[in-house]
Structure 1
């Protein structure tokens, strides 16, 4: 039986992703705070920023869930095949 290797992410990659996200959101918030526009315009842009962030998080979760479902389905199918192969003996004579 082959063992599936799980992809790993390093702590540095995780830290870089978190730092990048924090920096980009912070930069947008500072830009919105100092934007020379009426408050309703800044509020509208802030709402758009929040919508983009939540949509990105939901998309990441959906992609991860779909990948996990595919992995689980393939593991179940592999287990069924392994069971059938272990139970099948082509040299067994039925009496």
Structure 2
């Protein structure tokens, strides 16, 4: 009795859509900051904040992915142990005490 493995692979189209969306939003925000009628130090502060948010987002995405992969590996190990126990179990074997 095996449980189905759920592997969700992203399609190439979805990957490109996500990459293009990220690029467009980053460029639009950068242009908005560049053309903002504010002092240069204020624009610099907003640009630095934007870079911080972007790097934090990548770090969070990596941590979520790593945790998901770790959970998947632990699940596979537990399933392998259970399969081994079930394969070795003989319900008709009588233990002599």
TM-score normalised by the chain length of structure 2: 0.89
Deviates more, 1:2-11 or 1:57-66: 2-11
- Structure 1: which 5+ residue stretches go unaligned? none
Q: Residue by residue, what CA displacement relative to the aligned partner does 1:4-33 show, whole Å, maximum 9, x if unpaired?
A: 131121111111100000000001111111
Paired residues, number: 95
- Structure 1 position 56 matched with structure 2 position 57: yes
Question: Which contiguous aligned blocks of 4+ residues in structure 1 show a shift greater than 2 angstroms?
Answer: 92-95
- Structure 1 position 19 matched with structure 2 position 7: no
Q: Aligned with 1:8: secondary structure? A: coil
> How is 1:1-95 mapped onto 2 (pairs within 5 angstroms)?
1-94=2-95
TM-score normalised by the chain length of structure 1: 0.91
- Structure 2: which 5+ residue stretches go unaligned? none
CA distance in 2, matches of 1:15, 1:25: 15
Cα shift at 1:2:
3.9
